[in-house]
Amino acid sequence: MPPNTPPLNPHKWVENHADYLFSFAFTRLNDEELARDLVQDTFFAALKRMDAFEGKSTERTWLTAILKYKIIDCYRKRSSDLKVSLREVNEPVFFEEEGHWTVEQRPTAFGIETDARINEKEFNNVLQGCMQKLPPLWLSVFTMKHVDEELTDTICAELKISASNFWVIIHRAKVNLRACLQKNWL
Amino acid sequence: MNALKKIQYNCNKATFLIEKRMLDKITLRERVELYIHLITCLPCRLFAEQSQNINQMVKQLFQKPVVKLGEDEKQQMHTLIEQEIDKEKK
């Protein structure tokens, strides 16, 4: 290890990072038990890999990167367990055959047009509920792209989907999410 | 239906392009089609504004710590790590 590498201190990992990692995993998987197991696994994996730590990132970033791999593994498992084709997903009819919005599903204003309702607890609860209604594969794609800002190619490779399916999922996830917000927030 | 009508009528495609445009490049032809569509389609203009704000809200939501581990759970994790470190030493 080069002398200026900030050292890893596994004796302090739980104290310094466990809550952060737990919350990181929980928001992405919505399963407390699974999130807890992944944090523990991450610490174990990190102990085995301490030699590989180059000090290019902080201890927390390094641990988070290990956790991310484990989360993607879960995404993969979930989406193959529930391999529903795009056609089978149960969703409202948003568009007429020619592509026009159906009357029931047409977007209307409901208070998030001009400003994002950041930090509003009740709105966040609705948002969280609506995200959890998306099929697992869609939610994984959506989160990897919008929150973790992964490259499209990476997401397609990790989750074994084609680029054209990726864009269909990105589109339909948003159409469903927006409709759910309009319905439950108004 | 003529070409212009088709563009004006296809909200499904327009919203697809709105989503793609926020994350990637769309072709010049697609940009023109979307522009024409949005001029006459209020619901899709609303969709575009809302969609952008939803992205922001989702990002924000994920940055906030929403759950914490219990003290005993942390203690247990800590003990397991210490055991593992001891094992490595031997």
| Cα–Cα distance, A11 to A161 (Å, whole number) | 40
pLDDT tens track for A103-142: 999 999 998 988 888 778 889 899 989 998 998 889 999 9
Q: What percent of chain B has pLDDT over 90?
A: 73
Contact B49 A114 (CB under 8 A): yes
Per-residue pLDDT band at A85 (split at 50, 70, 90):
low
Q: What percent of chain A has pLDDT over 70?
A: 93
Contact A44 B82 (CB under 8 A): no
Q: What's the confidence (pLDDT) of residue A13?
A: 95
Q: What's the confidence (pLDDT) of residue A4?
A: 52
CA A135 → CA A73, B37, B53, distances in Å? Answer: 17, 30, 22
pLDDT at residue B70 tops 80? yes
pLDDT at residue A91 tops 70? yes
DSSP per residue, chain A: --TTSPPP-GGGHHHHHHHHHHHHHHHHH--HHHHHHHHHHHHHHHHHTGGG--SSS-HHHHHHHHHHHHHHHHHHHHHHHT---GGG------B-TTSPBPTTT-----S-SSS--TT-HHHHHHHHHHHHTS-HHHHHHHHHHHTS---HHHHHHHHT--HHHHHHHHHHHHHHHHHHHHHHH-
Q: What's the confidence (pLDDT) of residue A54?
A: 86
Contact A27 B57 (CB under 8 A): no
Which residues of B are less than 8 Å from A94 in CB distance?
12
Contact A167 B13 (CB under 8 A): no
- Any long-range contacts for A155-163 (C-beta under 8 Å, 24+ apart)? A158/A72, A158/A75, A158/A76, A159/A72, A159/A75, A159/A76, A159/A79, A160/A76, A160/A80, A161/A137
Sign (positive or negative) of CA dihedral A141, A143, A147, A150:
negative
Q: Does the beta carbon of A126 lie under 8 angstroms from any beta carbon of chain B?
A: no
Which residues of A are less than 8 Å from B5 in CB distance?
none
pLDDT tens track for B7-22: 888 999 999 999 999 9
Give me the residues paired with residue A95 across strands.
A101
Per-residue pLDDT band at B42 (split at 50, 70, 90):
very high
State the smallest CA–CA distance between residue B27 and chain A in angstroms.
Answer: 15
User: Which domains does chain A carry?
Assistant: 10-81 (1.10.1740), 86-184 (1.10.10.10)
Q: Is A160 left (phi over 0), alpha (psi -120 to 50) or beta?
A: left
**Angle of the B11-23 helix axis to the B28-40 helix axis, nearest 10:** 130
pLDDT at residue A99 tops 90? yes
Residue of higher predicted confidence among B87 and B27? B27
State the pTM of this model: 0.85
pLDDT at residue A82 tops 60? no
Which residues of A are less than 8 Å from B8 in CB distance?
none
Which residues of B are less than 8 Å from A118 in CB distance?
56-57, 60
Q: What's the confidence (pLDDT) of residue A12?
A: 94
Q: Does the beta carbon of A160 lie under 8 angstroms from any beta carbon of chain B?
A: no
Return mean pLDDT, chain A.
89
Contact B81 A43 (CB under 8 A): yes
Contact B16 A118 (CB under 8 A): no
The ipTM value here is: 0.86
Per-residue pLDDT band at A1 (split at 50, 70, 90):
very low
Contact B43 A109 (CB under 8 A): no
The closest of A17, A61, A67 to B68, measured between CA atoms, is: A17
